[in-house]
Amino acid sequence: MSGLQCLASEKVWFDKHRYDEAERRLYEGANGPATQQQQDTDANAILQDIAKSRKNIQQSLNGVKTALQQAKGRQQKRPHRNSSSNAGDQELVSRMKSLELENQTLHKVVVEMKAALQRLESRVAVLEKSPAPAAVQCAKTAPVRQVKVENGGDEDDDDDIDLFGSDDDDEEAERLKQERLDAYAAKKAKKPALIAKSSILLDVKPWDDETDMAKLEECVRSVQMDGLLWGASKLLPVGYGIKKLQISCVVEDDKVGTDILEEEITKFEDFVQSVDVAAFNKI
Q: Tell me, what CATH number does 235's domain have?
A: 3.30.70.60
Q: What is the pLDDT of residue 2?
A: 59
Residue 124 pLDDT greater than 90, yes or no: no
What would the mean pLDDT of 233-254 be, rounded to a whole number? 91
Query: Residue 167 falls within a domain, yes or no?
Result: no
Banded model confidence at residue 230, pLDDT cuts 50, 70, 90? very high
DSSP H or E run through 9 = helix 3-9
The answer to the question of residue 191 being in a domain is no
- Residues with Cβ within 8 Å of 20's Cβ and at least 6 positions away in sequence, in order, are 42, 45, 46
Which residues, in sequence order, are CB contacts of 249 under 8 Å at separation 6+?
199, 200, 202, 228, 229, 230, 231, 261
pLDDT band with cut points at 50, 70 and 90 for residue 5: low
When comparing pLDDT for 82 and 250, which is higher?
A: 250
Asked whether the predicted pLDDT for residue 48 surpasses 90, the reply is no
Domain assignment present for 177: no
For residues 279 and 90, the model is more confident at 279
204 domain-assigned: yes
Query: What pTM was computed for the model?
Result: 0.34
Name the DSSP class of 228. E
DSSP characters over 32-71: -SPPHHHHHHHHHHHHHHHHHHHHHHHHHHHHHHHHHHHH
Domain span including residue 239: 197-282
Q: How confident is the model at residue 138 (pLDDT cuts 50, 70, 90)?
A: very low
Q: Is the pLDDT of residue 32 over 50?
A: yes
Q: What average pLDDT does the structure give for the chain?
A: 77
Residue 131 has pLDDT above 90, yes or no: no
Q: Give CA separation, 216 vs 137, 207, 263, 270, in Å.
A: 98, 11, 15, 9
Please report the pLDDT score of residue 235 as a whole number: 93
Please give the average per-residue pLDDT across 212-237, as a whole number. Answer: 92
Per-residue confidence (pLDDT) for residue 54, from 0 to 100 = 75
pLDDT band at 46 (very low <50, low <70, confident <90, very high): confident
- DSSP conformational letter for 196: P
Q: 254 or 9: which carries more pLDDT confidence?
A: 254
Number of domains in the chain: 1
What does the buried/exposed string (b/e) look like for 2-25 if buried means 16 or more CB atoms within 10 Å of the residue's CB? eeeebbeeeeeeeeeeeeeeeeee
Contact between residue 243 and residue 237 where contact means Cβ atoms under 8 Å apart? yes
CA distance 238 to 208: 10
Nearest Cα to Cα of residue 264 among 205, 220, 216, 212: 220
In a domain, 11, yes or no: no
- What angle, rounded to 10 degrees, do the helices at 16-31 and 36-129 form? 160
Residue 223 belongs to a domain: yes
| Residue 120: pLDDT band with limits 50, 70, 90 | confident
Using the predicted structure, report yes or no on whether residue 217 has a pLDDT greater than 80: yes
Report pLDDT for 33: 53
Q: In terms of pLDDT, which residue wins out, 7 or 147?
A: 7
What's the pLDDT at 203? 94
Tell me the range of 37-41, 69-73, 134-138 where mean pLDDT is highest.
69-73
For the ranges 78-87, 176-185, 195-204, 216-225, the lowest mean pLDDT is seen at 78-87
Q: Do the domain assignments include residue 232?
A: yes
Q: pLDDT category, 144, cuts 50, 70, 90?
A: very low
Question: 59-69: b or e for each residue (b if 16 or more CB lie within 10 Å)?
Answer: ebeeebeeeee
Residue 182 in any domain: the answer is no
Assess whether pLDDT exceeds 80 at residue 105.
yes
- Binning pLDDT at 50, 70 and 90, where does residue 96 land? confident
